[in-house]
Chains A and B, each alone.
Chain A
Amino acid sequence: MFRRINEKIIESCIKLSGLLVIIFVFLIFLFLLKDSISLFGQYPIGQFLFGRNWLPISEPPKFGIVPLLLGSIYVTIGAIVICVPFGVAAAMFIAEVAPGYLKHVLKSLIEILASIPSVVLGFIGIVWLGPFLRNTFGLKTGMCGLTGSLLLAFMALPTIISICEDALVGVPRTYKEAAFGLGATHWQTLWRIILPAASSGIIAAVMLGIGRVIGETMVVMMVTGNAPVIPKSILEPLRTLTATIAGEMGETVGGSEHYFALFAVGVVLFIITFMINLVADVCMRRAKK
């Protein structure tokens, strides 16, 4: 009897906390939405979404999100192009090639990599990577999109490697046996059989990596030069959605147009990451099947 009541209490606690999480997410979204909608009372939504200038303190102010969106996209694509091949290759090495002890060493190394605070990476970017890129590419400044991409790639690597590795290890051993039985080499088996079989997991890994990169703030604020202009290339200073919010929120007056504009930027960011996570989730689910 007593036990049954206990059971009930625990069960409802768990249910409640699950429900709370959903409510919180929902409330956060509502909160963002409410404040950003206030903007569109004063500022047309078309000019916000398609405006090519972000000039919050000019007269009249302009809140065109395109340069920020492009900044985020440039940095993210750069990071993904850099980290996906490395991440997948590293996962393949760990899952299929490396001998047992090396596997353990590499896995713990990757965990350490994941625990480096982003401020520290930003610091490395300012002190070392930025100047290095400036000198090698002969740039005006090392504080540019590429510096951000490289550091973000570094940050996304642990996520990508460990999820890819799980996906590769999850491929049934029988595939390998069948492939070897047909006379395939280890490499052919890996490339043509195991990799395709793990593809949904790998896509999920990449999507989560993108989610991680696009939401990252500190590093991009420190190293990308913070110029809210439409970037011509990744080698120029730019500014991301996240850096804009973090950088400008402190200077705005609560309730001002600028303040609401930053909330609207937040909503855009929220929607983007939500979509990415959704795709990742679908892929993960398909991978499990």
Chain B
Amino acid sequence: MVNFMVSLSNPMEIETTIETKNLNLYYGDFRALNDVNIKIPGRNVTAIIGPSGCGKSTLLRCFNRMNDLTENAKVQGKIIIEGNNILELETDLIFLRKKVGMVFQRPNVFDLSIYNNLKFGLRIHRMLSDKDHIMQAIQSGLEQVNLWQELKDKLRKNARSLTLEQQQRLCIARVIILKPDIILLDEPCSALDPIATLRIEELLRILRQQYTLVIVTHNMQQAARVSDYTGFMYLGQLIEFGETNQIFTNPGEKLTENYISGYFG
């Protein structure tokens, strides 16, 4: 296994957080995010929960500006990551997305070999040029998601021939290999079976020692299992944010309590 103490070489970055100030997002006239103020602590797992359509994915996609791809989306407010408001015009999106990686709901490996799936990111960010270094990076990426043993002899195989769980792990490795600070995960287990889900959750618990993880989930048990902090959203608003324990055992808002105890969802 990987020695995490070595990788934690830069203690200055431990307090990396995401902070939003009066964040609003409109799809045309529809207000999908309504004055969201959230402070996400670094090197922890933060879960965003809430009923379908409440804006969880929308919020998550703001953090690496994926909403720029949605034509009718308009964002107002501030999102501060590492001291910079990433909504500023001069934000380097390429660099931002390297620092803030994203894992999607359905495993979206490219129609390329496993090797090339991982190499793509290194290449576009001109991180490594030497073949041996690339191989080392790929190995360490796969080791971190526990795929190296299974796949080390099949790196040239098309990534789409893997199982869904392996594909989702590969997607995580693809992000990790770029050495991000923050990893956003949008319902990363919803396409997986329960056992694979548990194994991915286990992986997240290991990764939290090195990265800031923000996970959107439908599944409250999952939030309770993997996260240190939880935010509850409803109709575009962040209703409550706090330590997971407190949210689940002693929520401050009636709405949160109703949701958690399953009155709606």
Cross-chain contact A175 with B110 (CB below 8 angstroms)? yes
Chain B residue at smallest Cβ distance from A188: B124
Interface residues of B, count at CB 8 A: 27
For A178-189 the 0/1 string (1 means CB < 8 A from B) is 111111110010
Question: Are B178 and A183 in contact, CB atoms less than 8 angstroms apart?
Answer: yes
The answer to whether B66 and A175 touch across the interface, beta carbons within 8 angstroms, is: no
**In the complex, what residues of A have CB within 8 A of residue B94's CB?**
183-185
Q: Is the CB of A185 within 8 A of B108?
A: no
Interface size band for A: 10 to 19
Residues A182 and B108 in contact in the complex (CB < 8 Å), given A177-B66, A177-B69: no
A101 to chain B, nearest CB (A): 15
A174 at the interface (CB under 8 A from B): yes
Smallest beta-carbon distance B60→chain A, Å: 11
Quick check: is B208 within 8 A (CB to CB) of the other chain? Answer: no
Shortest CB distance B158–A (Å): 10
Is the pair B102, A181 in contact by a Cβ cutoff of 8 Å?
yes
Q: Is the CB of A192 within 8 A of B111?
A: no
User: What residues on B are CB-neighbors of A77 within 8 Å?
Assistant: none
Closest CB in chain B relative to A182 CB, distance in Å: 5
Whether A197 is near chain B, meaning CB under 8 Å from some CB there, is: yes
**Contact digits for B190-217, partner A, Cβ 8 Å, 1 yes 0 no:** 0000000000000000000000000000
Known: A182-B178, A183-B98, A183-B121. A193 touches B106 (CB 8 A): no
Cβ-based interface call for A172 (8 A): yes
Decide yes or no: A182 and B174 within 8 Å by CB, A177-B69, A188-B124, A193-B112 being known contacts. Answer: yes
Q: Please tell me if the beta carbons of A174 and B120 are within 8 angstroms of each other in the complex.
A: no
- Say whether B110 contacts A193, CB under 8 Å: yes
Q: What are 7 A-B contacts defined by CB distance under 8 Å?
A: A177-B66, A178-B110, A178-B174, A180-B97, A182-B120, A182-B121, A183-B178
